[in-house]
Amino acid sequence: MLANELTRANTHFYFREKLLADYQQLGVPSDFWDYTLAAHSSIALLNLCRVYDFHRDGINLFNCLE
C-alpha cells in the first residue's frame, strides 16, 4: 500500500513536470493547464502525506517500520 502511494505520487509529479514543460506548445487555453497542473501537484502531495502521516492508528511508514 505504501509503495503504491509513493508510485502514484511520483507518477503525478512526473505528469506535472512534463505538462509544465510542454503545455504552452499544445495550443489550448492556459486556464485548463493551470488547473491540471494544480491537480497533479495536489494529488502528489496527498499521496506523500499518507505515507509520512504520524497518526498512531494509520497505515503509514512509521507504523510499518515498527
Are 51 and 61 a contacting pair, CB within 8 Å?
yes
CA–CA dist 64, 56 (Å, integer): 11
pLDDT in tens, 10-61: 999 999 998 888 876 776 677 888 898 899 999 999 888 888 887 777 777 7
The residue range of the domain holding 21 is 2-65
The pLDDT value recorded for residue 10 is 93
Nearest to 12 by CA among 44, 48, 42: 44
Q: Per the structure block, which three cell numbers stand in for 63?
A: 507504523
If one counts the domains in the chain, the total is: 1
The yes-or-no verdict on residue 9 having pLDDT over 90 is yes
Q: Mark out the alpha helices in the chain (DSSP H runs).
A: 2-22, 30-51, 61-65
The yes-or-no verdict on residue 65 having pLDDT over 90 is no
Are 39 and 19 a contacting pair, CB within 8 Å?
no
The pLDDT value recorded for residue 2 is 76
